């Protein structure tokens, strides 16, 4: 009996040591089969119980059961320890150092015109303006007639219009839009007041020198409501120009002007300094014309199905390319459209930094 117990003690030491030493799940499984499996060492001892006296069987059987429990527990404990160690290794291997600088994949640059459009959308969006769109090819009605340009009036010629062969429903030749103002018409025809919108896009005129290209970009603004005034127009433009140029002491000068679609009309100049051979917005005693604006002409409202006795509005239009040149110090407009990647690399913007009023405009 003693000899048998000694055998059990050494078997226990052996099995527990093997469990402790197991380096992976596979060796633990081998151990389990060799000790507890049907052909295993403990099971073999169990089978001997039959030949023992009832007393022997009782003590020896109990000892065997204790051994069995100890061994299976040792195997399970080791298994859990191995799993935990494996997880720890995996976490170590997959750890990311978030303090490393990001790798910037080279995916090109945002064109200054697109950048300025994003900036303007952020500024006017923040003020409650919706962004509308219209096509580059317009009807004569939307580009001129609805905007109160009289038929055959010389004002149509001042726009150096590109006329297409294709005709619209009115029988008049279609045009490459000469300004973004037709989007005012489109918006008023499809939407009831109150209206508060901006539109940005391509415009076309037969013109080409250092400050004019046959294709250029404009932003248009329109507000229609029951009570709107020149004072509202002024407030909105001052806030927008301050935000855009990121200067607080911007001065604006409203000069009387004529546009067929506004009455009264004003051209707006921004205060600048030209002393250093470069135009600087803000300080200084000079002026630079940057936009056209006014109160929407009652005829335009009528042409767009809006009652001018109930509603009034203001509108404004600005050259986007000019704004970009002024803000980012780019001297030649023609370079904007040369598709020269060296120019774009120099003047372009990171695709990762979207303009917004919170994080900064531009
Ligand atoms: N459409 C004008 C142009 O291209 C600019 C303009 C002036 C737009 C006055 C307006 C406005 O909306 O009210 O010369």
Q: What CATH number does residue 228 fall under?
A: 3.30.930.10
* pLDDT the model gives residue 357: 67
Examine the pLDDT at 61 and tell me if it is beyond 70. yes
**Which residue's alpha carbon is at the smallest distance from atom 6 of ligand 1?**
317
278 and 174 within one domain: yes
CA 166 to ligand 1 center in whole angstroms: 26
145 and 88 within one domain: no
176 and 58 within one domain: no
Q: How many CB atoms lie within 10 A of CB 212?
A: 15
Q: Cis (ω within 30 of 0) for the bond into 327?
A: no
Distance from C-alpha of 197 to C-alpha of 179, rounded to nearest angstrom: 16
Pocket test for ligand 1, best of 219, 290, 316, 321 (most atoms within 8 A of CB): 316
Residue 155 domain flag: yes
Distance from C-alpha of 341 to C-alpha of 345, rounded to nearest angstrom: 6
Percent of the chain beyond pLDDT 90? 65
For the chain, give percent helix, strand, coil, nearest 5: 45, 25, 35
Residue 58 domain flag: yes
Strand partners for 319 = 218
**Which residue's alpha carbon is at the smallest distance from atom 5 of ligand 1?**
317
Q: How distant, in Å, are the alpha carbons of 193, 220, 223, 235, 236 from that of 226?
A: 8, 20, 10, 18, 17
Distance from C-alpha of 113 to C-alpha of 156, rounded to nearest angstrom: 27
Q: CA 69: distance to chain centroid?
A: 62
Pocket of ligand 1 (CB under 6 A): 179, 181, 220, 259, 262, 292-294, 315-317
Check residues 46 and 294 and name the one with the higher pLDDT: 294
261 and 334 within one domain: yes
Q: Contact 228/193 with Cβ under 8 angstroms?
A: no
179 and 245 within one domain: yes
Examine the pLDDT at 316 and tell me if it is beyond 90. yes
Final residue of a domain: which of 51, 66, 93?
93
Q: Is 22 helix (H, G, I), strand (E, B) or coil?
A: coil
Examine the pLDDT at 191 and tell me if it is beyond 90. yes
Give the pairing type, strands 130-132 and 163-167: unpaired
Q: Contact 356/122 with Cβ under 8 angstroms?
A: yes
**Stretch 142-167: mean pLDDT:** 87
Model pTM score: 0.71
State whether the Cα torsion 85-87-93-96 is positive or negative. negative
Q: Which residues contact 166 (CB under 8 A, 6 or more apart)?
A: 137, 173, 174
* 260 closest CA partner among 149, 136, 172, 346: 149
Pocket test for ligand 1, best of 161, 255, 261 (most atoms within 8 A of CB): 261
289 and 218 within one domain: yes
- The listed range with the strongest mean pLDDT (43-47, 55-59, 217-221) is 217-221
Check residues 360 and 30 and name the one with the higher pLDDT: 30
Residue 150 domain flag: yes
Final residue of a domain: which of 64, 93, 122?
93
306 and 169 within one domain: yes
124 and 87 within one domain: no
* pLDDT the model gives residue 139: 95
Residue 103 domain flag: no
Residue 106 domain flag: no
CA 292 to ligand 1 center in whole angstroms: 5
Q: Cis (ω within 30 of 0) for the bond into 264?
A: yes
165 and 42 within one domain: no
Q: Which residues contact 128 (CB under 8 A, 6 or more apart)?
A: 196
Question: Per the structure block, which two tokens stand in for 118?
Answer: 């994003």
* 318 closest CA partner among 124, 52, 137: 124
**Which residue's alpha carbon is at the smallest distance from atom 3 of ligand 1?**
179
Strand partners for 173 = 167
CA 293 to ligand 1 center in whole angstroms: 6
* pLDDT the model gives residue 361: 64
60 and 201 within one domain: no
**Which residue's alpha carbon is at the smallest distance from atom 12 of ligand 1?**
316
Q: At what angle do helices 54-93 and 2-21 cross, to 10 degrees?
A: 10
Strand partners for 266 = 256, 293
Instruction: Kindly indicate the confidence band of residue 183, based on its pLDDT and cuts at 50, 70 and 90.
Output: very high
Which phi and psi angles does 220 have, rounded to 5°? -120, 145
Question: Relative to the CA of 317, which ligand 1 atom is closest?
Answer: 8
**Which residue's alpha carbon is at the smallest distance from atom 7 of ligand 1?**
292
Question: Relative to the CA of 292, which ligand 1 atom is closest?
Answer: 7
Instruction: Kindly indicate the confidence band of residue 351, based on its pLDDT and cuts at 50, 70 and 90.
Output: confident
Question: Relative to the CA of 220, which ligand 1 atom is closest?
Answer: 12
Q: At what angle do helices 41-48 and 54-93 cross, to 10 degrees?
A: 170
Number of domains observed in the structure of the chain:
2
160 and 49 within one domain: no
Distance from C-alpha of 309 to C-alpha of 312, rounded to nearest angstrom: 8
Question: Given its phi and psi angles, is residue 186 left (phi above 0), alpha (psi -120 to 50 degrees) or beta?
Answer: alpha
* pLDDT the model gives residue 208: 84
Examine the pLDDT at 355 and tell me if it is beyond 60. yes
Instruction: Kindly indicate the confidence band of residue 2, based on its pLDDT and cuts at 50, 70 and 90.
Output: very low
* pLDDT the model gives residue 362: 60
Question: Per the structure block, which two tokens stand in for 122?
Answer: 């952020």
Residue 107 domain flag: no
Final residue of a domain: which of 93, 121, 140?
93
Question: Relative to the CA of 294, which ligand 1 atom is closest?
Answer: 13
Residue 23 domain flag: yes
Which phi and psi angles does 235 have, rounded to 5°? -60, -45
Give the pairing type, strands 312-319 and 130-132: unpaired
**Stretch 238-242: mean pLDDT:** 95
* 184 closest CA partner among 201, 203, 193, 197: 197
Residue 102 domain flag: no
> What is the residue range of 6's domain?
2-93
């Amino acid at each position: 009996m003693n000899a048998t117990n000694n055998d059990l003690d050494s078997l226990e030491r052996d099995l527990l040591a093997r469990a402790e030493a197991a380096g992976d799940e596979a060796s633990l499984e081998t151990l389990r089969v060799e000790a507890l499996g049907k052909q295993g060492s403990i099971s073999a001892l169990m089978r001997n119980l039959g030949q023992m006296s009832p007393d022997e069987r009782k003590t020896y059987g109990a000892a065997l059961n204790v051994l069995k429990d100890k061994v299976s527990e040792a195997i399970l404990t080791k298994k859990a320890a191995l799993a935990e160690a494996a997880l720890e290794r995996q976490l170590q291997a997959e750890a990311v150092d978030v303090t490393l600088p990001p790798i910037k994949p080279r995916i090109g640059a945002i064109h200054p015109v697109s950048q300025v459009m994003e900036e303007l959308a952020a500024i006017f969006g923040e003020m409650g303006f919706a962004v509308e769109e219209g096509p580059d090819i317009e009807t004569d009605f939307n580009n001129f007639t609805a905007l109160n340009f009289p038929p055959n009036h010389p004002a149509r010629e001042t726009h150096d219009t590109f006329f297409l062969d294709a005709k619209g429903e009115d029988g008049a030749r279609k045009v490459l839009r000469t300004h973004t103002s037709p989007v005012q018409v489109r918006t008023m025809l499809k939407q009831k007041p109150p209206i508060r919108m901006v539109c940005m896009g391509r415009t076309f005129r037969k013109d080409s020198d250092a400050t004019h290209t046959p294709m250029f970009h404009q932003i248009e603004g329109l507000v229609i409501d029951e009570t709107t005034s020149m004072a509202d127009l002024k407030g909105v433009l001052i806030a927008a120009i301050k935000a855009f140029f990121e200067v607080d002491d911007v001065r604006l000068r409203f000069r009387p002007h004529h546009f067929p679609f506004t009455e009264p009309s004003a051209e707006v100049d921004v205060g600048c300094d030209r002393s250093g051979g470069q135009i600087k917005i803000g300080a200084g005693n000079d002026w630079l014309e940057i936009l056209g604006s006014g109160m929407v002409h009652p005829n335009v409202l009528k042409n767009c199905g809006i009652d001018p006795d109930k509603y009034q509005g203001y509108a404004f239009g600005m050259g986007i390319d000019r704004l970009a040149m002024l803000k980012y110090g780019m001297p030649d407009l023609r370079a904007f459209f040369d598709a020269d990647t060296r120019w774009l690399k120099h003047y372009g913007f990171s695709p990762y930094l979207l303009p917004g009023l919170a994080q900064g405009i531009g």
